[in-house]
Amino acid sequence: MTKIRWGVVGPGAIAAGFAEAMQLADGGEIVAVASRSQERAEAFGDRFGIPGRYGDHAALAADPDVDVVYVATPQSEHEAFTLASLRAGKHVLCEKPFALNAAQARRMAAEAQARGLFLMEAIWSRFLPAYRSLTEIIAAGRIGEPLQVRADFGFPMPADPEHRLFRPDLGGGALLDLGIYPVQLCHMVLGIPERVVAHGVIGETGVDEQVAAVLRHPDDRLGVVTTGLRASTDCTACISGAAGWIDLPAFMHCPQALTVTTPAGSETIDASHEGNGMQFEIDEVHRCLAEGLTESPTMPLADTIAIAETLDAIGAQIHPAAEG
Ligand SMILES: NC(=O)c1ccc[n+]([C@@H]2O[C@H](COP(=O)([O-])OP(=O)(O)OC[C@H]3O[C@@H](n4cnc5c(N)ncnc54)[C@H](OP(=O)(O)O)[C@@H]3O)[C@@H](O)[C@H]2O)c1
C-alpha cells in the first residue's frame, strides 16, 4: 500500500506528539519538516528519522514528495501556512485553534474548497475512543435528548510574557488555546449556539486569563464553559439529558474513560488507548484521502467555522477591541 507522505511545519511540542503518534497510525509517514531555522529542522529530522529538512516553509510546500501538510505552529501563523500549502497543491491538517477568528477560517475553507483539496482542523478529541463512545451513547438515547453541557479546561501557568499563551501576537490566551475544547464539545452535542454571554479577566500582557461563558443553543439547550490560565480546575465535562448524564473525567478533551449515569445506576466505559491518541485523527485524514473526501464528516469545515464564530462572539465580549 502506498503511504501518505506528510510534511510538518513548526517542529515544536505538538509536532513531536504528532510524530510519535504517526508510529501508531496506519499508512502514513513524515517525509519532511520545516522550521524557521535549518538547525531546528535538522534536529527534528534526526529525532524522528525524517529525510526532508527545510529552513523555510516555502521549500516544504514546494516539495513534490509531500502529499499533506500538518500545520503545527502557533495559531497566529495558521492562516498563512495553510493558504500557502493549499496554493502549492497540498492537503492540510491544521492545529486547533484553526485560526485567530472566523474571517480567517472562512478564507482557509474557501481556498481548500476552490482547489478541491482536503482541509481539517486538528480537533483530535472527536476521533478518540471516548468521544466515539460519547456520540454512540447519545445517539442510543441513553440520557434522552442532551439538554445541557458543562465543560471546563484550564490550568495555572506562571505568567511568562515570552510564552506563546501570554503573547497576543501569537494568538495567546486561554480561550483560543484551551477554551476551544469545551466550546467544540458544546457544538458537537448541542449544535450551533444562538446567543453567547461571557465574562473574562484580561491579564497584564493583554490575553484572557480567565473566561466563563454561557451558550444558548436551539431548543432551550445550554452550554456552560470555563477556561483559564490562573486557577487549578477540574477539567471535566458533563452532558445531561432528562434521563441521565455522561461524565467525561479529566482531561475532558482526551479522557480515557467515561461514565453514564441513569436511574438504573452508573456504568463506566473504558476508552483507553495506546500512545497519546493523535493517531486517531491521523487515521481519519488517511481514510478521507483514500476515499477522495475533501472534508472529514466528523470534523467538517462548517463546524470549524461555526466554532470560530462562537469563539469570536465570546472574544468580543471579553476583549472589547478584538473583533474582526
Ligand atoms: N492538539 C493538541 O493537543 C495541542 C496541544 C498543544 C498545542 N496545540 C496547538 O498546536 C499549535 C502549536 O503549539 P505548540 O505548543 O507546539 O507551540 P510551540 O512549541 O510554541 O510552537 C511550535 C513551533 O512553531 C514554530 N513557531 C513558533 N513561533 C512561530 C512564529 N511566530 N512563526 C512561525 N513559526 C513559529 C516553532 O518552530 P521553529 O522556531 O523551529 O520554526 C515552534 O517550535 C498551537 O496552535 C496550539 O494551540 C495543540
**Co-location of 21 and 148 in the same domain:** no
Q: Please, which pLDDT band fits residue 319 given cuts at 50, 70 and 90? A: confident
Q: Is the pLDDT of residue 230 over 50?
A: yes
- Which of 101-105, 187-191, 317-321 is the least confident region? 317-321
Query: Is residue 324 predicted with pLDDT exceeding 50?
Result: no
Nearest CA to ligand 1 atom 47: 177
Q: Which atom of ligand 1 is nearest to the CA of 164?
A: 20
| 106 and 150 together in one domain | no
Q: 84 and 23, same structural domain?
A: yes
Is residue 128 a contact partner of residue 254, using CB atoms and an 8 Å limit?
yes
CA distance 312 to 319: 10
8 in contact with ligand 1, CB cutoff 6 A: no
pLDDT of 323 > 60? The answer is no
For cell 495558521, what's the residue?
78
Domain count, the chain: 2
Whether residue 300 has pLDDT greater than 90: yes
Residue 301 belongs to a domain? no
* CA–CA distance, 56 with 72 (Å, rounded to integer): 14
Q: Which atom of ligand 1 is nearest to the CA of 78?
A: 45
Range of the domain at 80: 4-124+278-292
Confidence check: pLDDT of 322 > 80:
no
Which pairing describes strands 52-54 and 28-34: parallel, antiparallel, or unpaired? Answer: parallel
Is the CB of 36 within 6 Å of ligand 1?
Answer: yes
Q: 11 CB under 6 A from ligand 1?
A: yes
Model confidence at 44, pLDDT cuts 50, 70, 90, reads very high
pTM for the whole structure: 0.98
DSSP alpha helices (H): ranges in 49-101?
57-61, 78-87
User: 148-176, pLDDT tens digit by residue?
Assistant: 999 999 999 999 999 999 999 999 999 99
Same-domain check for residues 114 and 222: no
Whether 96 sits among the annotated catalytic residues: the reply is yes
**192 and 288 share one domain:** no
Which of 88, 87, 46, 92 minimizes the C-alpha distance to 69? 92
Tell me: do 155 and 101 sit in the same domain: no
Ligand 1 atom with the shortest distance to the CA of 12: 43
Helix (H) or strand (E) holding 111: helix 102-115
> What share of the chain in percent tops pLDDT 90?
97
Q: What is the pLDDT of residue 290?
A: 97
- Is residue 267 a part of any domain in this protein? yes
Report if residue 183 sits inside a domain. yes
Separation of alpha carbons 236 and 251, rounded Å: 6
Residue 14 lies inside a defined structural domain of this protein:
yes
CATH number of the domain residue 174 falls in: 3.30.360.10
Mean pLDDT for the chain overall? 97
* Together in a domain, 16 and 74: yes
- pLDDT tens digits, one per residue of 65-78: 999 999 999 999 99
Q: Where are the beta strands (DSSP E) in the chain?
A: 4-9, 28-34, 52-54, 68-71, 91-95, 119-122, 146-154, 195-202, 208-217, 221-228, 237-241, 244-248, 257-262, 265-270
Same domain, residue pair 30 and 158: no
Does residue 317 sit within a domain? no
Nearest CA to ligand 1 atom 40: 35
Same domain, 59 and 88: yes
Do 192 and 98 sit in the same domain of this protein?
A: no
Task: Choose, from 57, 90, 96, 142, the residue flagged as catalytic.
Answer: 96
The Cα 215–Cα 77 span in angstroms is: 28
User: 36 with 72, same domain?
Assistant: yes
Q: Is residue 72 a part of any domain in this protein?
A: yes
302 sits in the region (left: phi over 0; alpha: psi -120 to 50; else beta) called alpha
User: What is the percent of the chain where pLDDT is above 70?
Assistant: 98
Per-residue confidence (pLDDT) for residue 96, from 0 to 100: 98
45 lines ligand 1 (CB under 6 A): no
Determine phi and psi for 32, rounding to 5 degrees: -155, 155
Co-location of 148 and 257 in the same domain: yes
Look at residue 60 in the predicted model and tell me its pLDDT: 98
Pocket test for ligand 1, best of 42, 53, 94, 95 (most atoms within 8 A of CB): 95
